[in-house]
Amino acid sequence: MKKGYWVVAYRSVSDASAMQAYATLARPAIKAAGGAVLAVPGATVVTHEAGVAQYTVIVEFASFELAQHAYASADYQASLRALGNGAERDFRIVEGAA
């Protein structure tokens, strides 16, 4: 079974309080779904080509299917409602190579 990853690049953050509310709810939702956070906002980011040096988050799940289910979970969806329009994100769920 191939692992699944959330790869999230924040293009911009317009509301820091909404980001905090999102993080407060997202952390336990991710943990409950079996996710392991590998990279968090504040980590060093080196950009190339059209990259933006903004927050980047990588979360690992035991499978691609679990990564999809975690995103669709009621708890994670509540965190997205808390974020609202507070950030513009490029959010991808990626299947691992092995």
Judge residue 49's burial from the number of C-beta atoms within 10 Å of its C-beta, 0-12 exposed, 13-18 middle, 19 or more buried.
Answer: exposed
4-95 CATH: 3.30.70.100
Distance CA 6, CA 37 (A): 9
Spell out, as residue ranges, where the chain has pLDDT lower than 70. none
Question: pTM score, two decimals?
Answer: 0.90
Cβ 75 vs Cβ 49: under 8 Å: no
> Nearest Cα to 91, choosing from 74, 83, 2?
83
Q: Under DSSP, is residue 55 helix (H, G, I), strand (E, B) or coil?
A: coil
